[in-house]
Structure 1
Amino acid sequence: MNARYCSLPQQPAPAFGPGLTAERLSALISGRQMWVNGSVLHYYFFDDETDGSVIPVPGTDETRWVSWAGSKEQQDVVRDCFQEWQDLGVGLAFAEVGDRSEAELRIGFQLGDGSYSTVGRDALSVGRGRRTMNFGWDLTASGNRSTALHEIGHALGMLHEHQSPFAGIHWDDEAVYADLAGPPNFWSRDKTYYNILRKLDPGEVNGSAWDPQSIMEYPFEAGLILEPERYRAGLQPPGALSPADKEFVHRWYPSAGTPRPTTLVPFRSVPLGLGSGEQADLVIEPLETREYTVGTFGESDTVVVVFEEMGGEPRYLCGQDDGGTPHNAHIKVRLVKGRRYFVRVRLYSTWGSGETAVMCW
């Protein structure tokens, strides 16, 4: 039986301004979809009887309405897979919520619509009433648990491993198109190219070497891969988190056992002193309720995110990415006296003097 494959929603290639150095561009590409470390990603399962949409019936001109709700057994598989990622000791946390407006990740189980997820911070651009993740087949069936691990990997910022430019895969293109056009996937040529044949930029991939054992690797039957020769008979990853998968998430999301964050006081700048890919964590405890501006200074590309502490955990308020632009990230946000806020700044790269700072006013 042909394998069912995850199909990432097609996104336009990122557009950066002209004149960027190769080093700066590589840093922007590799980090643009990653969350700031220390984030709590809240997930929600669609469960209302009106949650659903109309999808085409494969092989016909007909459509049908299908619910997004899933059974408790299906949800439990996803919960268990979130916990498996969490148990790696990464600097992210996952929390289930019952209100979709509080969730960065919103999950459906619409059968027949395929399995997919937005990649990393792309979830923040998806409307509150829409899915950022879907499971299109029964996760409780034998061998299907790996689908949930795979889609959560996308939500963390990981991409498909077989699209790595380091893989050295030579496809039988027409055989791939023909295989995916039939059941159970019924993919168009565009979807097949985007999710299988297209090579990623070297800066986008999970590492500098191909990992055929990765949870982000598809299984492939015989006759689709021409080279490397040992995979002509097929490629069957184990469907578990590989050592390279774990190294990737620990590199981007190291354990958050760090000292108390620096306090950010209005009109007093704090030097960052960050290297490429590093992060600074700060806290604001406002003495008055008003609109504040939080911003960075210096010749740098950064992501700045503001969280509010609610129920003992950080809740995302707003953020800005100034990557590839000539200006710095400045966020206007209303802060309330007596509450606690976290500011997290992740650096892509610096140029010029390399000196960077953050301030609120």
Structure 2
Amino acid sequence: MTPRFIGSEIYRGSSYGTLHPLRIPRVSTVIDLARALGWLSSERYLTSPRAKPAALAAWHDPVYLDVLQRAEREGTVSDEIRLRHNLGTASNPVYPEVFRRPATAAGGSIMAGGLLAAGGRIHNPGGGTHHGLPDRANGFCYLNDPALAILSLRRAGATRISYVDIDAHHCDGVAHGFADDPEVQIVSTHEERRWPFTGHIEERGAGEVWNLPVPRGFNDTEMAAIRERVILPRVAAFRPDAIILQCGADAVEEDPLSRLALSNNAHADILHGLLPMAPRFLLLGGGGYNPWSVGRLWTRMWGELSEAEMPDILPPAAEAVLRGLEFRHNRLGRNPPEHWFTTLVDPPRPGPLRPDVADRIAALEARARVWV
């Protein structure tokens, strides 16, 4: 199957509010950049459907789905609903598209699962909302499209699914749903001592769960070691027939909501390592709160997934997309470096393999030997 990109215009201009980290344009920037590069032909671009409540109820509580739709219609929620469903809070505000936008992201991931029945590669950058719980909004996520993608892939014939998550934040919602499922493997790297404060290295499930929390300053060298000694060997040993890669852009150095120090080369290298391991491949977005680093990373990942020629210097139309972005942030929005406008590929960010990271890798390697 020709690699497909799932997008929607609902992301353009939709915002969680002027003070929220998700006030920035993300998916619309990726769409505009990919089009400016000639990477989104009509054959490759699919408009995401909006998932209906009946489809969302495959994982979400119907009562919660009713509450979410009513919140969109009324523009507010009661104190009781706020407490019960964590909706209408600073992190999970009620905004004009509070049901339609996440339902569109979920619709894209559900559709991807069906389209991948016979194999192929799909990118849904609006997906990756890995914190959503069955009956609660959680961590900017109102629905959990990765969970729905897993169920969709399973309905379409996949029997062993590897879910790999390299977001800066642990995938607590996906773990809630599938940590005890023997046919789903969860592999997660995430910053230690950061919300949601789950995903400890000791945490397991009845299924196959591999958590590797990493310290501040986590660099490309350390991610390469984890890639070669944990992620790729564990996925290969699981022998999946489908892989989902949640590609949160908040693990790069420029992101304001983490303290990690990766370049987007780390993400691309993991993508390339995983692609040959299963006939079905779904690439999702996730976190990411700097508009330049998110737009560049997810556009680059689409280029890598679709085997496009990666330019050393962006053409004028693509550069104009990046120069048109604004970011009102005290530290990162002032005087952006020139390469944020002119390239998709970051300079490498190597560093030492620190002893605590090496020890955690060794601990998972030892556990893997016992597992086998």
TM-score (norm 1): 0.29
TM-score (norm 2): 0.29
Greater helix content: 2
Which is greater in Rg?
A: 1
